[in-house]
Amino acid sequence: MRIEPLFSAERIQARVAELAERLARDYSDSPLTVVCIAEGARRFVDDLLAQLRRRGVEPERLDVRAHRTEGTTLGPVQVEHFDPEGLDDRDVLVTDDIADEGATLQAVLEIVSLAEPRSVRTAVLIDKGERRRHDVPVDYAAFELEGGWVIGYGMDVDGEYRDLDWIGLLQDDRF
């Protein structure tokens, strides 16, 4: 297995800061809840929230376990322990590490909409728009990428590489 570096730690932090700047303008005076929907997105969301707080935005955070991969195999979307009741009349930002086919985002957005929020937008670390199979919006994306299995900065393959400070493309026959 070989890893091709894609985005350095410095580049990632710069893009997260740029996203935070846009979000701070868009949510400067409204109650915002950030929904983090995947374990791989937690590092991205941690950094994004820190940047938002530096800009005077104090969002609430809601971690939800939503996934559809087991190792490297895609399956049905599973959303666990998510009660959207507290999202009524709030601005909601649903975040994920990767918007690929869009199935996970779609499942979470459907649950969020049950609460009748004021607004719902999405933010992802990596948007693989060419692979989209579900009609879901990606309002904010740090990076765009066509394909491949990415690792690092919270994202993994079989539990490995999550702790890398940078993002790389896994070079392996399985992907």
1, 174 Cβ separation under 8 angstroms: no
What pTM value is reported for the model? 0.90
CA-closest candidate to residue 145, choices 2, 7, 3: 7
Please write the tens of the pLDDT for every residue from 60-108: 999 998 876 665 556 677 787 788 888 999 999 999 999 988 888 999 9
Helix %, strand %, coil % for the chain, to 5? 30, 35, 35
pLDDT at 72: 54
Please write the tens of the pLDDT for every residue from 4-53: 999 999 999 999 999 999 999 999 888 899 999 988 899 999 999 999 99
3-state SS class at 81: coil
Domains annotated for the chain, with CATH where assigned, are: 9-146 (3.40.50.2020)
